[in-house]
Structures are given as structure tokens and as C-alpha cells.
Structure 1
Amino acid sequence: MASFAQERIFLDEQIRFSNKHIFYNNFVALRVTEGVLSINRVLQALQLVLRKHEILRTSLVFNNDDSTLQQYVTDNHKTFTFLDQQNFESDNELQNIIYRTVINPDLFNLSSGRVFSCQVLQQQKTTHESAHTDFLEKSDVLVLYFHHAAVDGTSIPILLNDFYNAYSNNMTVSLDEQSVQYVDYAVHERLMDMTTSRSFWYSQLERFNLQRALKLPVDRHRLPVVQPSSLASVAQISFDKELSTMFLNYASLHQITPFQLGLTVFYMFLFKLTHGETDLCIASINANRYRSELENMIGMFVSTLPYCVQLNSHWSFDELVKHVQEKCLSILEHSHYPLQHILTDFQLNQLDVPFLEILFNFLPVSTNIDRYSIGDVRLEQISIKEANEISQFDFSTMFLYNPTSDDHKLSYLFSSPASFAQARIWLDERIRFDPDKPQIAIYNMLFVYRLQSDHTLSVKQFHQALQLIVKKHPSLHTSLHFDIDKNLLMQRVITHEDKNNNNMFSFIETTYATDKQLNIILYDEMRNPHLFDLDQGLIFRCHLVYHKRISSNDLLSDKDVVIFNFHHAQ
């Protein structure tokens, strides 16, 4: 029989995501930075890896007679070959090829044991260079694709290490016929006594209403009966060195793990986000390699489990940390208990379990694992932006901890399809555009203010306050651009790094002496079509208009005018 983890992935893909079998398609892309790889030897090395690790050629078949999921080891390693070889000219084209492949629902076939694939992507040579189709040279890319039912995150370094050894050692790796295979683990798992774990999980969850969803603020609702799409909006925040040090020092001082501290912070975030809900139920994952024999085995071991807490709004942060730590330690002993058993014990339908739509994870990473060597050949792992836009969760948070990184920049990245309203305004502006006629803006939105009589305002503090407001609200520094490949209007939050730390909005200071001059300025703010640049995310500006002369004491007076101008698309 299949393992509980395989069963969960298989059923989740079949039931929750219908025929869109892409959520569990994963990949690793390796670019050659130095040296040359023989494509034929790469193929032979991969065939040897598949021979060693049966899980990479194991089929999953649902038995209708007894309603069980069975796994069968195939001989696919004997006929394994590459996907169609392709050429690319630019990084954008490379990323598009990988993205289109990984979202292809026909990439894998679990019933035939096709759970692992490989593709060679070669950079297009110039007219002065000769192409060597039998070799991977500098800038060429090798992509390994695998289905999550066969490979989890911990398995990837094991797979790559065996591939490198097979290539380097003339197609020889350790092939111990007596070694434990994944199918043996699946059999052992089915024989385990889980009575104690079943009682533990029942005691943990019986106080919670597991069918109640958290009241998260959303800008649009998805009906329960609607299949989730593959689109995701991703925001990324990198802590600076000081904040990272404070985080790790706190964890060390209180003898808790970074995972436990990160989870505590996430609970606090949800508490605020839901305006004080105290019963918080989310999902998190566990590596579930609880025996030494499993540490170097390729396969799907990861367990997804509910992490539910009942907060006391009067607790201090230290008290909350202690409570979360105790919760995590108690779960660790029973993390092997299958999620599907928990759902069955509480008579829950896998199609509609609210806590499975909110995920927290903490991953230690290192820049060193992104670079590899095979003899004199150097490889680096590359990622694609579009891969982050695929998600099976409504809301997920992932902490990435890199102890070796020197990059302490603060960044906040976000990419998603534009809303229907944004698309309508963006398209309307282009339809109305006529290069033979004077251009007049119709989507500039003005708000004009003066101070009350005898009041003043510090220009410096005013400017700083605006910077904080713009930084806080991503919609005030979000670009709109049309993606030709996707045939879709996309939006992306612009960061300080994108602007080379320049202002993310326009701040202008001019003067006026008469009402007529002021009216001309106001008209220009309202009708000038060149004040904003949607492609660059410049969609907000502040215009200070001083009476007669710019203030020498950095103060606005009651005769000065403040103009806030927004583009209506945001």
C-alpha cells in the first residue's frame, strides 16, 4: 500500500484540485557557470539514480475494490529519457519555458510511475559561436522535475548528491540491494500502533470548532464550491541585521527554536488581523523523519498537521511564547499521525477544512546549497518568479532563515494579476489615447487643502509622514504592466531597491502670487497626462504651493496650498 503521505497528496490532488494537477509539480533548475557536462553521461547518471531509488519510478493506483491506494515499483529507469530539448535566448524566455513545463498537468502520470523528469535547456548561440548539442556548456540549464508524491524538500539534496556522485564516479553509486526502500517505510507505517497518538490529537482538538474559518480581511471572496485557481500573490519581507539578531537572541535566551518563535509571531499577527479572535487554528508541516533510517531516503515523508491554540488576551508575549513552545513539543511526539486520520476522527470533509487554508512554515536555508560542483564543473541553482505565484493555500506564511547571508536589505515584493477595476481604467486610457489630439488626463484625482488660520506645519515632518504612509500602503507604489506572454495586466509592488532608494512618490514645491496662477497650477495637476507613470509605480504625488516664496523656516502657513494627487487606477 501507499504511505499515508502519498495517500494525502494523491487524494488532495484528485479531490481538491480536480484536473488541475500542477500544485504538486516541483523542480530544481541548475545552470552551468563553469566547465562542460556531457548530456549522455547526465542521462546515464540519472538512470542510475532512478535504479537506486525505487520511489522515483513507483506508480500510485487507486484500487476501487477495497478503496485503497496501492504503489507498484516499475522499471521506468530502463527507458528513462529527457523531455524535448529546447533553446532559449534570454532569461525571460528561459523562465517562461520552465514555468510552462512545471504547470503542465500532463508532466507526470502517477498511475504509470512517471513521477520524475528532466529537461536540457541550451542558450541560443550567436552566429559566431558553434553549438555543441551533446554538451551542457556555460549558461546552459539542466532542469529536474518531480512530483511531490515521490519527493519532499529534504529529499532534493539527497537526489542531487547521488546524481553528482554517479556522474563523477563513472556511473557507479552504492547499490545495496538490502537497503531500506520507501515502500518498506510505507509497510512499517501501516503496522504502527497509533492508539496513543489518536487520543493525543483528540484531546488537542476537541475544544475547537474545526469547521469555523478565521475572519480574515479580504478584498474578494471565494465561494467554497469554487475550485481554487493556481494564482497567488506573494509578498516578501527581509529583516535587517538588527531585527534578525534580536529575533535569534530572544529565541536563544528563552531556549526556544526559531520555528516556535516565528509561529508565536504569526499567531499574534492573526490575532490582530482578525480583531481579537482567540481560537486560532492553522496548518503547519513536519519533516516526519523520526528514525535514523529515514534521514537519507528519498520519498514523501512530510506531514501536514493542525496547530491550534486558545489565546488569553491578557497574556504577555513571554507567556504566549511559553504556551506555543509547549504546544509544539507535545505535537512533535505525535507528528506521524496522518492528517486524514485526524479529519476522519472529527468527521471533517477534506474539501472544506478551514485550517488547511492557512499555512505556517519555517525553513533554514543557506546560499551555499545553491552552488554545486561536479569535478571541474560548477553549477548554480536558479529560481523563477512565476513559481511563487502557484499555491494550494488561501494564505501561507514562510520564514526563511539564512545564517550565512550578508544581504540585510529590507524588501517587500508582490506580484499578482491586476483587479478588474485597474484593468478597466488602464485599458480605457489607452483606448482614448490619440497621438493626433491634445492629451488630457481623466484619471488624475486631486485633493486640495489649506491650513487653518494662524496654524503652521513643519515641511520636513510632513514629508517624513508621507514617506511612512506610502511605505505602509503598497497600493501607493504599485506598478501596472501588461504581460504579453500571459495576456494579462499585472501589478507589482515597487520597493526602495527597485528605485535605488529614491522616493517612491513625487514631492514638488512651487510658488504662486495670484489666484490666477494658483488656478493654472491646479488645472495642470488635474489634466496633465504626464504626471504619473503606471509602469514605474509612480501613482501618487504631493505638490506644495507656497504663497509668493518658498518658506525659509521650513514651515507651511495658512496661505500655502497642499495638493494630493492620485492616479485613479490605484
Structure 2
Amino acid sequence: MNIWLDERIRLINSSELLPTYNIGKIFKIDSGHLSINQCLRALNCIVDKHWIFRTRLKFDVKCGILYQSIDQTIHYPVRVSTIKNDEQQKILLDKEMWTPFDTEHNGVFRCHFIRYDHGDNKDDLSIGDLLVFYFHHGSFDGRAIDIFLDEFKLAYKGVELQSPCLQYIDYSVHERKLAMTEARTYWHDLLQDYDWDRQLDLGQTKKQISACRSGRGELLRFSIPSSIAHSMIYYINQFNVTLFQLGLTCYYIFLNQLSYHNRDVCIGLIHLNRYRPEIVSMIGMFANILPCRIVNIDLDKLSFIELLYKVQKSFLQNIQHTYLPYEELINLHRKPSSYLQFPYLQTLFSVDTTIIDYTNMDNIMVTDTCSLSTYKRKEKDISIGYKFDLDFSFAYDKHAGSIDCVWAYMSDVFQLETIEQHANRFNQLLTQLFGSNHIEQLQIPLNEIIILDKNQTNNDNHVDKKHI
């Protein structure tokens, strides 16, 4: 419900829907070939098995209620396009990216086969051809798409898919019946004195007079120097914390130093929320957004280690109450005036390990002779799908031991130059914290080791940018 409203009220352009909640997964054939008809039979098996693929959402204007129904027939949009060159391919991919879902009539899933002209065989997908799948994020999370690909491989080989004991709609009904008094009390107490219209100082360069956003944005990526990254990995093992908790602590320090106003801050976190064995392999939308509140930390007195454990404690308390849906969590706190308010969460932090996850691997074997790889579009070609003013993440490759910082920002709010300055300052902060490689450095008050001048650019610590 919250995503459906967000899509139609906050993330909108001239009364037209934007494809902000589209999730695209594109696969390229690296070897062998696939049959389009056999692909469709495999997809039909998956759509028949999982009702969520046949979900329709309709809003009753008179009653003010959003209804969810399940179409009994196997129906989803399918396109097959034959192209002659890469430019035609790019045009088709852009069109797919910019086409929002009509969740009332066409559901929450669609596919598109983009093939080069192979002569008379119109059923053949060969090397260089693409399988394009799009999902609506209101019904699918990242884990669900991994499960989808697993089942597609099995169904293509003719393996009969086992009927599930539970469907996602069963979970939704169960969720509404859960005893959530404890969770409601926790979130109410945590957020009750956090102003509902509080706006963080993120160094915005474009003044915002409303909550509406276009969903357009850009990415700036830079690599953390290997010596700093190795120190960070060493310390998370030394302190028995996670990279997420360490990164969240560093991000809070950065926001605090950016503005004194940010001493009391809610940072958005994403939790997978698959907390029971029955739903681990279920296709649906389980991920939940949580506001992690870090309040009035005195950096003049605390050491980094002390702050790290405070942040860890706050995070661990949060995840004990993740089952309360974000929509209800916010409704405990939001003033009952209008949905058109500034977004409660302006910034998000996450650690992304998808670089080594299943759907980002090369050499995905569909048959003994056909392999796929994830087709990665250039970041400059992806300008839609931004949901937060500032989305900051670590991209962690465990095998290489490398960490990239990714700044995803709304073009409505920031200019590139501002984000470049943020990236430089954050890189400087990491160098001040972890550059000496001495644990004693992290045991003294933070104000003795952190120097972050908003007007200063440190050329020696300039980031290694990958802005494409």
C-alpha cells in the first residue's frame, strides 16, 4: 500500500506515473541458444505456481480502499523484438525502463526477448540476445528475483515445479493478524519526540518546497583505498561487529560533521525480513524499511569504538521489531493531515554484496550448452528509480576484499558537484579514522582525530571516482 501511494503521490511527474518502482533484470546469452517457446512454457509454469505474478491492484475511489485480486488465468505482457544493431537495442531497453506498470490491468511482471536477426528461425535466442524481465517492487524484493531465476532454469529443463504450501497472500493475511503491540510500543516510544516534518541538512543545493520527487537521479561511485578497506575489515573482526554497523557509524559521523542539525538523525535501513523458514523461498515482497534513530551523540567525549557499540545496540534493538510494516510504523508518528508531506526518511544506508550474489554471476548455466550472464547497463543510462534524496551504500566484494562507496542522489535535490564534495569528505573521514592502522586511534575522543572542514578540499585524499 505504501509503495502504491508513493508511486502515485510523491514520485510523480505532471500527473503521470513514473517507473520508479520498476526492477529490471536483464540477461545476455553468452553461449549456446534458447527457444523462445520453451522460455514461455517455463515462465507459464512459474506464473501458474506463484499467484503473486497474477496480482492485480485496483483502487476504489468511493471507499478509499486498495483491493488486491488474483487473476485466475495465466496472463502477463510478453514482447519479442528483432533488431539489427546495438542502437536499436538501447532504444528498446530505454523504453522498457521508462514504462511504468499498469498494476490494475497488466499486473506486476512482464518480459521482453530482444534478439538479433538470425534468419528464418524466429524461435531462436542466440549469443548476444537478451532476456529482459521487469518486476514491480511492490510485489517482489531482491531475494524473490533470485528465486525466480532458480525456478526458470529448472522449468526450462522440464523439471516439474513443486506446488507451494503457502502463497504470498497467505503471508500477507497472517501478517495482519500478528500481535504487534510490543513492536508498535517500541517504535512509538523511539520516534515520539522526532518531529514529523524534520528535514536533515544533507547539503542540498536545490530548495525543496514540496514532497514531490521525479525519481530521477545519478550515481557516483568511488573505491576506498585498499589499505583503508583492509583496515576496516580487520576492525570488524577485531570488534565483533559487521561491515554494515561499522559503515552506519561512519555515515552518522559524516552527517554529524556536515551539520550540527544532524545530531539527531533517522537513517533508513533495509531489512530482508524473511524471519521464518516457510518464507525463505517464497516469492513476494518481504523487505521492510526501518528508521534507525541515532540521537544527540557527543563526539567530543565518545571514542569511535564507544560510538560503534552504541550504534550496534540501536540497530540490534531495531531488528527485533522489523515485522511491523513501514507504512504502519510511520502512521504511528505521522500527523493525520495529508500524505503530501516531506518524506520521513531522506537518506538510506546499506551494504550491497550483490557483486558476488547469484544474479550477478557470469556463466549461469540454463542448459548444458547455454550460459547467461547479467547484462549490466552503463550507469549513465539509468536515470530513474531513485526513491530517497540520498542513498549511500558500501559495495563489498568479499573475494577481492574491496569496498566501493556508492552515492545515489536525486537530481531534484542535489547537483553533482555537491555529491563529489561529499564523497571527498567521506573519504577524508575514513582516512582519519582508519589510516594509521593503530587501534589506539579509535579509543580516544573522536574530536581529537576528526578534522572535517566543509570548505576544504584535500587533494591528497581525493576520491578515485567512477562516475560514468
- On whether the aligned pair clears a TM of 0.5, the verdict is yes
* Equivalent residue for 2:188, pick from 188, 202, 226: 202
- Deviation, 1:76, is 4.1
Residue aligned with 1:85, SS: strand
- Deviation, 1:212, is 1.4
Matched, 1:340 2:327: yes
Q: Partners in 2 of 1:132 and 1:359 — Cα distance?
A: 48
- Deviation, 1:359, is 1.4
Checking the alignment, whether the CA contact within 8 Å between 1:343 and 1:350 is kept in structure 2 is no
Q: Partners in 2 of 1:65 and 1:417 — Cα distance?
A: 36
Written as runs of structure 1 = structure 2, the 5 A alignment for 1:3-42 is 7-18=1-12, 19-42=16-39
Percent identity over the alignment?
Answer: 27
Checking the alignment, whether the CA contact within 8 Å between 1:58 and 1:113 is kept in structure 2 is no
Q: Partners in 2 of 1:244 and 1:167 — Cα distance?
A: 42
Change (3 A) 1:198 1:494: closer
CA deviation digits over 1:211-241, x for unaligned, max 9?
211122122223216x312321211122243
Structure 1 stretch 261-270 or stretch 216-225: which is displaced more? 216-225
Written as runs of structure 1 = structure 2, the 5 A alignment for 1:279-358 is 279-310=264-295, 311-313=297-299, 314-348=301-335, 349-358=338-347
Please, what is the CA RMSD of the aligned residues?
Answer: 3.0
Q: Partners in 2 of 1:379 and 1:359 — Cα distance?
A: 32
- Deviation, 1:417, is 8.2
Structure 1 residue runs of 5 or longer lacking an equivalent are: 1-6, 423-466, 475-492, 499-570
- Deviation, 1:315, is 1.5
Change (3 A) 1:395 1:352: same
Written as runs of structure 1 = structure 2, the 5 A alignment for 1:414-433 is none
One-letter amino acid of the structure 2 residue matched with residue 180 of structure 1: L
Checking the alignment, whether the CA contact within 8 Å between 1:25 and 1:147 is kept in structure 2 is yes
Q: Partners in 2 of 1:354 and 1:257 — Cα distance?
A: 28
Matched, 1:94 2:61: no
Matched, 1:378 2:366: no
One-letter amino acid of the structure 2 residue matched with residue 394 of structure 1: D
- Deviation, 1:45, is 0.4
Checking the alignment, whether the CA contact within 8 Å between 1:366 and 1:405 is kept in structure 2 is no
Checking the alignment, whether the CA contact within 8 Å between 1:240 and 1:410 is kept in structure 2 is no
One-letter amino acid of the structure 1 residue matched with residue 116 of structure 2: Q
Q: Partners in 2 of 1:54 and 1:181 — Cα distance?
A: 7
Checking the alignment, whether the CA contact within 8 Å between 1:47 and 1:80 is kept in structure 2 is no
CA deviation digits over 1:468-508, x for unaligned, max 9?
6397499xxxxxxxxxxxxxxxxxx777xx9xxxxxxxxxx
Q: Partners in 1 of 2:329 and 2:407 — Cα distance?
A: 36
- Deviation, 1:37, is 0.3
Q: Which residue of 1 aligns with 2:442?
A: none
- Give the length in aligned residue pairs: 414
Q: Partners in 2 of 1:28 and 1:136 — Cα distance?
A: 17
* Equivalent residue for 1:149, pick from 116, 135, 138: 138
Change (3 A) 1:54 1:194: same
One-letter amino acid of the structure 1 residue matched with residue 81 of structure 2: Q
Change (3 A) 1:112 1:242: same
Q: Which residue of 1 aligns with 2:382?
A: 387
* Equivalent residue for 1:401, pick from 369, 375, 396: 396
Question: TM-score when scaled to structure 2?
Answer: 0.81
Q: Partners in 1 of 2:311 and 2:180 — Cα distance?
A: 24
* Equivalent residue for 1:172, pick from 154, 160, 173: 160
Change (3 A) 1:135 1:171: farther
Change (3 A) 1:272 1:350: farther
Larger Rg: 1
- Deviation, 1:13, is 1.2
Checking the alignment, whether the CA contact within 8 Å between 2:79 and 2:111 is kept in structure 1 is yes
Q: Partners in 1 of 2:191 and 2:386 — Cα distance?
A: 26
Q: Partners in 1 of 2:63 and 2:114 — Cα distance?
A: 44
Checking the alignment, whether the CA contact within 8 Å between 2:264 and 2:294 is kept in structure 1 is yes
Task: Name which structure has the greater RCO, CA cutoff 8 Å, separation 6+.
Answer: 2
One-letter amino acid of the structure 1 residue matched with residue 85 of structure 2: E
Q: Which residue of 2 aligns with 1:67?
A: 64
